[in-house]
Amino acid sequence: MAPAPSRGLALLRATGPAGIASAIVLVVAAFAAVFGPLLAPYDPNLPNLSLAWVGPVGGHLLGYDFEGRDVLSRLLAGAQTTMLGPLAAVVISVPAGTLLAVTAAWRRGASDAVISSSLNILFTFPAILLALLAAAVFGASLVAAVLALSAAYTPYVARVLRGAALKERTQAYVAALEVQGAPATSVCLRHLIPNIAPLIVAQATILFGYAMVDLAAISFLGLGVQPPTANWGVMISENQAGLLQGYPLPALAAGACIVLVVIAVNVLGERLFEQARVARR
Amino acid sequence: MSDPAQPGASRSTGTASRAPLLEVAGLNVLLKVNGTRRPALRDVSFTVAPGEAVGLVGESGAGKTMTARAVGRLLPAGAHVQGSIRFASTDIAAITGADLRRYRTQVAMIFQDPRAHTNPVRRIEDFMTEALRTNHGVRAAQARDRALDMLAQVGIEDGARRLRQYPHQMSGGMLQRIMIAAALLIKPRLLLADEPTTALDVTTQAEVMAILDGLRREYGLAMLFITHDLDLAAAICDRTIVMYAGQIVEVRSSALLHANPLHPYTAALAAARPDIAKTVHRLRAIPGHPLSAFEAPPAECAFAPRCAHTRDVCRATAPGLAELDGGLSRCARAHQLRGQLQAVPNA
Amino acid sequence: MASLFIASFVIFAALYLAPGNPVAALSGGRPLPPGSIRVLDQRYHLNEPFLAQYWYWLDNALHGNLGISITLRENVSTLIASRIWTTAGLVLYASVIIVVLGVGAGIASGLRPGRLDTSTLVVTAISAAIPAFVAAIGLIVVFAVKLRWFPALGNGTGFLSNIRHFTLPAVALAVASLAIVARVTRAAVREESDREHVQTAVSRGIPARHVIWRHIVRNAAIPITTITGITIASLIAVAAVVETAFSLNGLGAYLVQAAQSKDIAVVQGISLVLVTAFVVVNLLMDVLYAALDPRVTLGSQPR
């Protein structure tokens, strides 16, 4: 097998121009997420009420927000919480979901029944509701929201992957390995999981989109990231008053950033999904 | 792609007394595959008389299903049709709309996989009576009665209960009988049967074939019967057409097909089928693999590479369909091989 | 049903575990004389074991008693009842939009490959990425501020005024879901059009409109119902966001406020109601699925 990076690149190239464009957008966004605060031309957190709502002028491409802070700087700084939070949720729920799915698929029988029915029950909680509950219990914070979302997404990931894992489990090569006496964990880690890896990656990408939207929504409601920490969802709620007063730019700019990144995530995720589907035939 | 060597209009044998029900002349079909046009049928011409059963035999890719679909106007989108298909003296190759629907009420198709071709969420009664109610204006209650009657004729008991059931509650054999019953209900003039028993197990095959054959004769319907089984075609059809690589290579009355085939391919097909009464030490397969129309070289005999009787003349030009002994053969050496082709093993 | 039971357990347990003294929460932080504390302990069974408390709560809930809101000092049930129609109306309005526009667009583009189809794909790709709160502010800017067609806030009074006030929120709620439903519908219609049983109908000369409605759409209705059901169920949670954005007086907005002010009883009560609604919608969807597909018996869906 070719080494992982070149296989990854080949996979990416196979997603077509739309997929590549999306990947580029995401790389830019990731860059902003990591280096955002350093790239910001002005202090994203310094209020200056005398400049509140002033439109684009001078070096301020997107104008000022409701507290007189530079919008562009705040967007760059906010990229961090807006995207690293969802990333954490994905990083927690995808391995957890994969573990559950593979365990259920590997053991089948009673273990599978137990895991599947518990997952079905956990499914009754929409992610946002769980995050609201978490905020009520533990106080509103980014950490609480991320944990709640992870808990809500894990059963979803497990359910999606369980089908694929089951199919893989019944392949002939798995039986051959079992007969040779290979231990279960080894077979799973070195063969089963790598074979459903494209599906996992595709699912993780799409999940990131959901997580971003959910987390931004929760922050918008004031139950996630707390102001004055910069966050695109928070920026929308902070600047909502401006909509009615004729200063829509700050809120719209934050909204546009969210939409752009989510489109890129969706398009890339869908393309990856297609590739995963084709590869499994 | 027309064949320059073909002499004038070739006539089918044996049934010139009445005007033919179906007349296919010079049919060429090109399919769009990955953006390029490839031939699927090359210069196919034949007729079917009213009440006559004609078999269409060939291996995969020979073009037999494509021919049936062309006649049934069910070719895939993007298919290019040249030549004429005349049904009851009307050219139906290009008609559309209400005319096309009217044509369809006279031609019934029986498909190979009955389960895939029935709507899984509709009851059998709906499936059987849909055409009657929609196209023939028959009232629901009356249509139901006719369906019940027809179910009895195809040997299905307890028809009333079956009508209320769904396709997934029935076996393949029963579904195929229902498909036949539904086809006969609209009283078509021509049946297009596309390998109707291939998907069934052997015992069911025999039952279903018997029903199909019996009812067809009883109602006096013409039939184009597609199959890869030469013996089956010869058993129930008056005439048999053998196809290879998108072309017709032999037309012969069924009775003479085994005794005196006119084309080496027909003989090889017949010889390849193991005879249950004899013991052989080696199965006689035809060497090589069957060609489809677009793989066939245009300037020589398509069967030449696999034929035991190839000579230089076979590679020189593409042979045309010529009359011989009351049948038609597309073999350059047909005259020379006359009488020698039966049960000749293809070494 | 089991899921509902367990969900209620989770809701109760989560809030039971909330840090802080329940008596302090009930009293709003004011110091109480010991006699009052004893009364509260008794009335709310605060000294009894966890499971007993859970049972009391559930029993009360089933009888319509969901406790008392700390901040508003009223029965939670009353507070919920006065707001439930807002949320229900909003979700219903959005559902209608999703079904009519989403399924409609999906069918239209699924049946006709070409310009309509590609434009639908592009539009849905974009709108699927627009979360409800972003759609909300976009709609407010365009339709409420610039064009002044619709109001930006509040419930309105009277039925027609309600509809006017609910339109932008319903659209905001529906935007993203609409796109998903349209895409899935389109895919389902496409796939169904290629099936062999459709060919059978065509070969019999059945007129096109019958083939489309009785065979293609009717069969595609199965996956379409599934995705529509899932989407509508998810609306129940997202409604909270839209209600907040448009200052609508609904359960979701109230839940958010209660979560912020740690009004435990309210959070519990509303969560229970919302989760019940979620489960009921899923149940209805299962029933509908079984009704549409005769190969499936209720309770054994091939998901």
Question: Over the stretch B172-210, which tens digit does the pLDDT of each residue have?
Answer: 889 999 999 999 999 899 999 999 988 888 888 888 889
Please give the share of chain C, as a percent, with pLDDT higher than 90.
17
B326 occurs within a structural domain: yes
Mean pLDDT over residues C159-168, rounded?
A: 81
CA distance C209 to C192: 15
Strand order in the sheet with B90-91: B36-48, B22-33, B80-87, B90-91
**How high is the mean pLDDT of chain C?**
80
* Pairwise CA distance, residues C65 & B11, whole Å: 91
Please report, in tens digits, the pLDDT of each residue of chain A (281 residues total): 455 566 667 777 777 788 788 888 888 888 888 887 777 777 777 777 777 777 777 666 777 777 777 788 888 888 888 888 899 999 999 999 898 888 888 887 787 888 887 777 676 678 888 888 888 777 788 888 899 899 889 888 888 888 888 888 888 888 888 888 878 788 778 888 888 888 888 888 888 988 998 998 888 888 888 877 888 888 888 888 877 777 788 888 888 889 999 988 888 888 888 877 777 66
Would you place residue C285 in the very low, low, confident or very high pLDDT band (cuts 50, 70, 90)? Answer: confident
**Is residue C27 predicted with pLDDT exceeding 70?**
no
Q: Confirm if A262 and C131 have CB atoms less than 8 A apart.
A: yes
Asked, for residue B41, whether it belongs to a domain, the answer is no
Of the two residues C97 and C78, the one the predictor is more confident about is: C97
pTM: 0.80
- How much is the pLDDT for C115? 84
Confidence of residue C28 (pLDDT cuts 50, 70, 90): low
Mutate to test the interface with C, among B74, B121, B133 (most CBs of C within 10 A): B121
A166 touches chain C (CB under 8 A): no
pLDDT at C42: 64
d(CA B343, CA B274): 11
A with C: how many residue pairs have Cβ under 8 Å apart? 133
The burial class, CB within 10 Å (0-12 / 13-18 / 19+), for C257 is middle
Confidence (pLDDT) at B9: 38
Between B61 and C208, the more confident residue is: C208
CA nearest to B201, candidates B171, B245, B158: B171
C10, pLDDT greater than 80: no
Average pLDDT over residues C184-210: 91
Chains within contact range of chain B (3+ C-beta pairs < 8 Å): C
On whether residue B49 sits in a domain, the answer given is no
Is B180 in the same domain as B252? no
| Per-residue pLDDT, B15 | 45
On whether residue B163 sits in a domain, the answer given is yes
- Higher-confidence position of B344 and A163: A163
> At a CB cut-off of 8 Å and minimum separation 6, what does C160 contact?
none
Instruction: Evaluate whether residue B345 is within a structural domain.
Output: no
Return the pLDDT at B76: 86
Within a domain: B302: yes
* Domain identity same for B259 and B333: yes
Chain B residues touching residue C218 (CB < 8 angstroms): 121-122
User: Among A219-228, B6-15, B47-56, C85-94, whose mean pLDDT is lowest?
Assistant: B6-15
- For the segment B222-246, what is each residue's pLDDT rounded down to a tens digit? 999 999 888 888 889 999 999 998 8
* Residue C75 DSSP class: B
Q: What is the pLDDT of residues C152-161, one digit of tens each?
A: 777 767 777 7
- Alpha carbons B69 and B77: distance in angstroms, whole number: 12
Between chains, do A267 and C19 touch, taking CB under 8 Å as contact?
Answer: no
Predicted ipTM?
0.81
- Indicate if the pLDDT at residue C221 is higher than 70: yes
Q: How confident is the model at residue B56 (pLDDT cuts 50, 70, 90)?
A: very high
Residue B12 has pLDDT above 50, yes or no: no
Per-residue confidence (pLDDT) for residue C45, from 0 to 100 = 61
The pLDDT of residue C167 is above 90? no
Q: What is the mean pLDDT of chain B?
A: 85
Token pair of C189, please? 């219609």
Once rounded to an integer, what is the mean pLDDT over residues C287-303? Answer: 71
For the residues B249-270, what does the mean pLDDT come to? Answer: 85
Which has the minimum average pLDDT: A189-193, B35-39, C42-46? C42-46
Tell me the one-letter amino acid at B296: A
Chain C residue with CA closest to B77: the answer is C194
Final residue in a domain of this structure, among B144, B163, B187 = B187
Report the alpha-carbon distance of residue C141 to residue A65 in Å, rounded.
Answer: 16
For testing the chain C interface, which of A128, A218, A268, A270 should be mutated: the one with the most C CBs within 10 Å?
Answer: A128
Which of B145, B161, B187 is the endpoint of a domain?
Answer: B187
The C-alpha angle with vertex B133 and arms to B130 and B138, in degrees rounded to 5, equals: 145
Amino acid B347: pLDDT: 40
Phi, psi of B302 (to 5 degrees): -65, -25
Which of the four pLDDT bands, split at 50, 70 and 90, describes residue C1? Answer: low
- pLDDT, residue B274, reads 73
Residue C4 — pLDDT band, cuts 50, 70, 90? low
Using the beta-carbon criterion (under 8 Å), do A209 and C10 form an inter-chain contact? no
Q: How many angstroms separate the CA atoms of A13 and A5, rounded?
A: 12
**DSSP-derived secondary structure for C112-147:** -TTHHHHHHHHHHHHHTT--HHHHHHHHIIIIIIIS
**Domain tally, chain B:** 2
Residue B3 within any structural domain of the chain: no
Residue B259 lies in domain = 248-337
Q: Supply the pLDDT for residue B168.
A: 92
Give the end of a domain, one of B187, B203, B227: B187
Q: Residue B87 domain-assigned?
A: no
Which of B117, B123, B125, B192 is the mutation pick for testing C, counting most C CBs within 10 A? Answer: B117
Asked if C240 lies within 8 A of A128 by C-beta distance, the reply is yes
Sheet holding B190-194, edge to edge: B107-110, B190-194, B222-227, B53-57, B239-244, B247-253, B327-329, B322-324
Q: Tell whether omega for the bond before B305 is within 30 degrees of 0, i.e. cis.
A: no
Higher-scoring residue by pLDDT: C22, B274:
B274
Write the single-letter amino acid at C236. I
Could you give the CA distance from residue A61 to residue C166 in angstroms, rounded to a whole number?
35
Q: Are residues B258 and B333 in the same domain?
A: yes
Q: How far is the C-alpha of C60 from the C-alpha of A97, rounded, in Å?
A: 36
